Structure 1
């Protein structure tokens, strides 16, 4: 049995989708969530169980019969990695594949989030189980936070619009995770996962506009504006950690491109164009009622086919 934690999140969900193609015969998938009903609705036919890092008995139940586990921990308080690893050892789990972050390799990264990731990695290394660490750069899906302003205002707002980031498609992370969970040869390895190029928020905005077929405006936030926007979603320690991360990006710390995705999966890492094309509906504005509808291709006497199709 393969256990996936964080299955209702961005990467965990993609791992659940990627696993069936790689599972050996007789090996099943189980997802652990605080809300198993939601997980079951997301993944019909996949076993969903309740589990919470603050409730060790629930972990014991979720890990029963599990051979390998995908570990996602997001809280910066508590010691979720250590709690899970202890439960995994007690349950006889063979291997844990942990979602970490490439920032752990940056000596200049000392924010709260990175410190917690480093501590989690150290816990895994010393636990006595087989382990694999996945260290992705920022997810391309983070740009979904712009979707509402793109739909309503045709505007992207972000801090440090000219700062490059070699962001990675969560589907590529998931493919690597699925291999590490089901194949031999990944124990004791740490994989840096990036996209094929470093892009700025301004460049991502242009790409979204090209795919939508409409001009988009980029509006750079001031540091104060960014802090206010983040404070509406996160507690102060996390806000400062995220702002520190943005400063490192502005200094070029997130521009390095790694070829590990290609090496492990056999295909090049997906581009931001690939990701945005496949998620463009999230950014598509509602039709403007003040504009005349485009003529149907069947009524176009010149046969130019003016109806735009976005795959």
Structure 2
């Protein structure tokens, strides 16, 4: 079988590609710039832009399943081309579709779920473990993580597990018409995460608590748009129960426990080490 993966060079899309290849599927990757796509050589890379359906002619031909993202353009703006994308997929005979949900309805997700010809599965991850990579510069340069709301809890999920669940839904029957809330296997404090990074890099990391005002000032100084700043204050200051409760879905769907944050930290330890830092 051949599966089309949109957003194939992104944080989750690249993991969907990896997991599909591991399951023996052929993969076609959609990207705006094939020349910049760093993907395995066995992946068929095609040019296309989900914000412009005119560029998608033929990209759905010959595929049995499609992994779709719901955003495109600047600052992850929701795609407004859902009906056109769904129509192209249906005409090409696509059978299975997974949708990477950002936590709420979007025009594309609505169009997929309204389809009568697609066997769809919505994949809804909570906080990505990869978000912790944003701390890497501060850890490398000052041995610090600077964050507000340090008592917040998170059941954050490994990106590889998101890809694994999507790959199962795209290659096996029995998952159509379902929405999967994906979490990691444990609930973590911010201190837990910082300690895991310190252990992985072999050097202590200080957790510095910012006030809400200090955090907002830093985020704005780093160029975050205002709606993103407001979103971060909301989810960090009052994390929804779904984001801090283990769902168990990864193990149920894949047949193995979800990856831990300590594992993620070991995989990315070098990103948090200062130049010349050895492992003690």
Distance 1:193 1:54 in 2: 27
What residue is the counterpart of 1:62 in the other structure? 59
Distance 1:233 1:12 in 2: 25
1:209-239 deviation per Cα after TM superposition (whole angstroms, max 9, x unaligned): 1222211111122222322333334322233
Which residues of structure 2 form unaligned runs of 5+? none
Aligned ranges 1:1-311 → 2 under 5 Å: 1-23=2-24, 28-39=26-37, 41-74=38-71, 75-101=76-102, 103=103, 114=104, 116=106, 119-128=107-116, 129-231=118-220, 232-249=222-239, 254-287=243-276, 308=280
Residue 274 of structure 1: how far off its partner (Å):
0.9
Contact 1:161/1:200 (8 A) holds in 2:
yes
Q: Using the TM superposition, name which of 143-152 and 121-130 deviates more.
A: 121-130
Residue 84 of structure 1: how far off its partner (Å):
2.4
Q: Using the TM superposition, name which of 193-202 and 251-260 deviates more.
A: 251-260
Larger radius of gyration: 1
Instruction: Give SS of 1:152's match.
Output: helix
Higher strand proportion (structure 1 or 2): 2
- TM (norm. structure 2) is 0.90
1:249-305 deviation per Cα after TM superposition (whole angstroms, max 9, x unaligned): 1x75521111111111111111101111111111112236xxxxx9xxxxxxxxxxx
**CA RMSD, Structure 1 to Structure 2 (Å):** 2.0
Distance 2:91 2:214 in 1: 47
- TM (norm. structure 1) is 0.81
Distance 1:143 1:198 in 2: 15
Contact 1:37/1:48 (8 A) holds in 2:
no
Residues 140, 4 of structure 1: CA spacing in aligned structure 2 closer, same or farther, 3 A cutoff? same
Distance 2:94 2:13 in 1: 19
Contact 1:211/1:280 (8 A) holds in 2:
yes
Residue 79 of structure 1: how far off its partner (Å):
1.1
Q: How many residues align?
A: 273
Residue 8 of structure 1: how far off its partner (Å):
1.0
Residues 48, 202 of structure 1: CA spacing in aligned structure 2 closer, same or farther, 3 A cutoff? same
Which residues of structure 1 form unaligned runs of 5+? 104-113, 289-293, 295-306
